[in-house]
A and B are shown apart, each in its own frame.
Chain A
Amino acid sequence: MSEFQPLIDQLYREEILRARALTPQERLSAAFELAPFAHSMMYAGIHSQYPEADEGELLRLARERIAKVRRCNEWKIFRPVGVPR
């Protein structure tokens, strides 16, 4: 067990107790509010790597980055197929 396990458990406990205090509607509203901030952080990271990139190039690079994550998540799980009759 990690020497940090008691701290990890305490942080997790606090996270779960905060979650229990929210309604499902509050959780989903907060998630959608979080999305633009998360996107802006990702775009800021890409922009720092590619300072010359314009808006279209930033979107292309963001899509490329997310596609890598999706490929990793879906590896050996999904495969293309035709529509069965």
Chain B
Amino acid sequence: MTDAEISRATLHAIIAGGVEYVLVGGLAVIAHTFPRTTMDVDFVVAIPMSSIERIAQHFPPTFHLDPQPQMEILTGTYRWIADVEGSTFRVEIFHLADDPHHQELFRRRVALFVPPMQETVFIPAAEDLVIQKLRWARNKDLDDARNLLAVQAAALDYAHIEHWCAQHGTLARLADVRASIPPDL
């Protein structure tokens, strides 16, 4: 399967399970910035922790879900991983946590038709990706935050970004990233 086919099959499994979702990770960043490669497709889903089977039962037989989830240490978010036979591209399913910004990101998601997936897909608003990336703050996250701020520029709601960065203690990080963008962009 191609990366697009894996992404589409995952989305179809989520929809078939009747589950609310938002596409996050590299593909969501790409939609708001520019084309680049990514190693996985990531969805946040709104289901009880014990209900991952609602989605997994609709996966193609070449998908192999690890039944043991992992926990992201910063916010306590749970994640399941599915490997796909014959591919290095993998599927990551995140549980929608109680974290206030995760809830806000989910509430503000926007719909977008994605031709390679042949579906309308929900993705986060660009502001919420910036907030999320500044919180994680690995080198690649800070690069993504910079690219999101540079490409979206005047289209962004900076009051929203600053509000959540203040909550997360990342205002200085936001200022540093903004200062790294050439001023005439």
Contacts and interface: CB of A to CB of B under 8 A. Distances in A.
B2 A27 contact: no
Contacts of B68: 80-82
A13 B151 CA distance: 10
Interface residues on B, range: 35 or more
Given A22-B34, A28-B31, A16 B185 contact: yes
B31 A27 contact: yes
Interface stretch (B13-21, B69-77, B98-106, B157-165): B69-77
Contact of A81 (B4, B50, B71, B151): B71
A19 B151 contact: yes
A31 B7 CA distance: 13
Contacts of A20: 151
A35 B78 contact: no
B113 A84 contact: no
Interface residues on A, range: 35 or more
A81 B27 CA distance: 26
Interface of B: 2-4, 7, 27, 30-39, 49-50, 68-74, 78-79, 86, 88-89, 112-117, 123, 136, 138, 140, 147, 150-151, 182, 184-185
Q: What are the nearest 8 A-B pairs in CB distance?
A: A19-B34, A30-B35, A24-B31, A32-B116, A31-B35, A32-B4, A78-B70, A38-B37
